[in-house]
Every structure is written in C-alpha cells, then in structure tokens.
Structure 1
C-alpha cells in the first residue's frame, strides 16, 4: 500500500539535492519575502460529499492570502515558523485546520481555501475498496439528526526535502484545541513541470489519522444512534490522494486554471454508518488573478 512512498524516499536519499528554490520554475511562482501575495480564482467546481444525505459542495471562488517573512509566515490563515532552511531541506513549525469538518459545513475553511496543490498559487489512486463493512450488518441504519462536529486547529512540525524528482513533505500534528485530542501524519510528493506558458503540478499524498480523529468526525454519539455508537469503534487508518493542477499563463496577473483531486478514503472511515461512498473527489475550472 505504501511501497510508492518508499520508492520516493529512496530516490530523494540517493540523488543529489537541488537548491531550495527549485520548485519555483517561472516568474510569479514564488511568494516574495516581506510582501503580501493575494490572488483569487473565479470559475466553477464541485466537491463530492461521502456523508449520507449531505449535498455535494459547489466551488465558485478560491481565494489565497499569504505572507512570508524571514522566519514567520502566514498562509491562508495558517501560521508557521521556520526552524531551519538549508540547501536541500526546510523544517517548519506550522498550524493547519481539520479537513473532515468540511463535509458537514458548507463554509468550513477547507471548502474555501483548497489544499496547496489545488491552490491558485500552487507550487495513487488505490483501487476502490469493495463493501461498506459494518453497514452490512443486519441491524437497520436508523439515525437521528447528527450533532455538531467542531472546528479545530492542528499544530506540529513539517519537513520539506527538495530533490531532483520533486518535493517530499513529511508532517505530523496534534489537535491544539482539545476538540478530540487526535493526531495526523501526512506524507506527500509533489512534482512541478513548466513548459513555456504552461505549469503542471502533480501530488501524491497519504494521510494517517488517529482513531480519535476518525471517531470524532465519523463516529456516532448515543443521541444519534444508540446501536451504532457502540458498534462502530474505528481504529487509526490511512487515506490516499492524487491531485493535478494545470495552469496556463495569459499575463503576469492572469492564469487559466484546472484543478482536480481524488481521495480514496481509509477503510476505517468507509466502515462508518454515515458514509455512503468510499471516495471523495473535487475539481475546479476557472481563471485566477494575482493582485
């Protein structure tokens, strides 16, 4: 399942590193230190919702706001501090917000500021898993109205390693607001290619979520279903994603943008009685303007 990331790691550790600014392949790709970088994309897109009886999420505008100082940075309402920046790697302390809550609330930040590789300023799919585990039990699925799933902020450490074959990112974070006291680990690889006025970004990503995270967002409270609150007791597990962003530069300020993402949900999430799909996907087509 994770052999592909082992291959990535071997490639990075056995090849000569490149300079830290290698991902910035053309003018306008990098955020200038000490200056605000603000942009917005207008168009149409959609994010599928695997939660039973919850609508898909339409996407019409994608803003991006970033500021990078010598050490501190702000990126779409996440904050960070660079501990060290070397020729071939960078280590940061950084915050991030929960993505699972976005399935329950239309205006969650994760539905406004898309992940980096699908972002205006961006720098494997596994086979579908058959069946829905616990939902195949004889007990009928009868649920009351779902209670609130609260927003939280994660904080942790992230490593970026710059190699000939792209950028490898390793990140680990913990719930800072004590909403569920869970942890997340992310492993991703990004490859950028610039061809004249075209820019292509491909990202493969694997996300580990602890049992506390999965149970808080996809488990059931006793008020929602007395039976399933006892029956569904998830463990930690991994989800896997592939993302592709294509940009065509019209001018120094305008780009045409096409972004798509597919996520194969973890088995433990699929087993939740409130889940009726084993994946989530999103796409966006439009034009991006950088101020």
Structure 2
C-alpha cells in the first residue's frame, strides 16, 4: 500500500517540472466549455459502483447526466459552484465547492449519487450480529449492535489550483466541511492526462485523496449506541485513498458519442480497519451512449 502511494505521488508530482504553453502542447486534446453557454449531456447505458460497506448493495448506474455553465469568473459544474480567482496560461486558482463522497455509500439518493438511477436496497442488515473476535487467545462473541445512526451528507468548500504542463494537468485542492456535519477537512492531489487519436478521446487520472481524522471518524467509526465493543476498539485516524481513473469517448456524430468509464480506489488501511467495511477497495464502471445537447 505504501509503495503504491509513493508510485502515484511520483507520477503526479513529475508534471510540475514540465512547464509548457498549454495551447502548443495540448492542441485539440483539451476541450473547454464555451463561456456563457450551458453544456448539457446525457448518457444511457449500464454500469455499477461497488459498495465496500458490509451488507450494503452495490450502486447501479443507468443514466449519467452532465450540467455545466461557465461564465467569465463564476461557474456551475454538476452541482459544484466555483469562482476563478486567478487565470493564467500555466495555472488557474479557484474557490470551489464539492460534495462529500463518503456519505454516498450510506444513502442511495445522496447528492453524490444523484446522477445514478435504478432501484437498490440500501438498508443494512445486522452488521454485527454474527461478529466474533479473538481475545486473550479465546474466541468471544461481540454484542449485537443497534441500528446504525445516520451518516449525513455535507457540502465542502475550499480552494483548488490547476497547473498546466506538457505532460498533463496537476490539480490540487483543499476543502473543509461547510455544514458543520463532521468539521473535517479533505485534500486531493490529482494528475490528469488527455489524449486524442482520431475519433477517440482518452483521459487518465491518478489521485491521492486525504481525509482528516474527523471525516474518517464520522463515517466509519462505531458509536457507543451502535456497538459498545467496537466503539472502543476501532479508533479513527486520518487516511489517504489512492485511485486510478480512465474515461474514453468515441465520437459517432456531432452530438453522439460512445462512453466508457472505469475507476478503481484502494481504500486506506485506516478505513479498512473499520468493522463497517468488508472490502478494501471500491470500483466503478460504465458503458453507454452519450448525447451532448
């Protein structure tokens, strides 16, 4: 796990030493949304997002809509609102908002899942009813837990920067809980590389996603009312998830495209240690046809 993080960190930080003129380096590979015009798209197909929580179902994906609007300074992008502070050929700095992603595992209709449709049963069964642990060399039962308390959605706000290099875009962001749900902080380091080959367009991304102790504790720690044993024996710590993402488009016509999306996230050991989880990863895929209005 540590070696994977070091490798991703090396790959992400390397582009910062490769400054270049974005126009000459990127050409048609980077397509920007036209200022003052709504960008609306809808993809229909099939996909799934795996849920690492014990006894929670995976999340089906049938529709993937896109709503974005960029003005001279203000912008709206799939529910996120931002304001551009500085814009240059080599970098951009924005004030921005974003959704909490951890709450999406607990609620089917969480805002982070608002672009996902389809029926799904998200009610957990007895997460701890059959849990057993070994203490002092002897196997002992852990008391049955009450129902889980609600893990609420929250909105994050902070600052982000985009650094443009000849071998990709480096994105750094820092955001804090705006709704006073967990009072935690998240930071992200992301490297993106775009490539066009005739009608094919590809985007590869490597991501390091840091979550403060407050975030991990709120979503993945066990509360005394849920299970007295685990509330004492699992102590939350700050954590770093690592991800790789690939998105590809094949242009069929002026408004029509084929869309393929795949993401894999290796969940940090500090989170995997929670008794709420039974997987150390989450993966997402989607294949469909997209129409851009």
What is the CA-CA distance between 1:143 and the residue it aligns to? 2.6
**1:284–1:42 Cα change, 3 Å:** same
What's the TM-score, normalizing by structure 2? 0.87
- Preserved CA contact (<8 Å) 1:20 1:89: no
Deviates more, 1:43-52 or 1:142-151: 142-151
| Structure 1 stretches lacking a partner, 5+ long | 115-133
Q: Provide, for residues 164-186 of structure 1, a one-character-per-residue CA deviation record: whole Å limited to 9, x for no partner.
A: 11111010110011100000010
1:15 to 18, 23, 27: 18
State the partner residue of 1:172: 174
Matches within 5 A, 1:5-154: 5-8=8-11, 11-19=14-22, 25=28, 29-113=31-115, 137-138=134-135, 140-141=141-142, 142-154=144-156
- Preserved CA contact (<8 Å) 1:188 1:203: yes
- Preserved CA contact (<8 Å) 1:62 1:112: no
Match of 1:31, SS state, is: coil
1:220 to 222, 225, 243: 222
Q: Provide, for residues 52-97 of structure 1, a one-character-per-residue CA deviation record: whole Å limited to 9, x for no partner.
A: 1100110000111000000000001110000000111000000001
State the partner residue of 1:198: 200
1:163 to 134, 147, 165: 165
What is the CA-CA distance between 1:227 and the residue it aligns to? 1.3
What's the TM-score, normalizing by structure 1? 0.87
2: distance between equivalents of 1:60 and 1:50? 20
Match of 1:252, SS state, is: coil
What is the CA-CA distance between 1:146 and the residue it aligns to? 1.0
The Cα RMSD (Å) is: 2.1
What is the CA-CA distance between 1:23 and the residue it aligns to? 5.7
1: distance between equivalents of 2:225 and 2:262? 37
2: distance between equivalents of 1:202 and 1:16? 19
2: distance between equivalents of 1:147 and 1:255? 42
Aligned length in residues: 271
State the partner residue of 2:234: 232
**1:135–1:210 Cα change, 3 Å:** farther
Structure showing greater Rg: 2
What is the CA-CA distance between 1:229 and the residue it aligns to? 1.3
| Structure 2 stretches lacking a partner, 5+ long | 117-130
1:273 to 266, 272, 275: 275
**1:32–1:219 Cα change, 3 Å:** same
- Preserved CA contact (<8 Å) 1:63 1:112: no
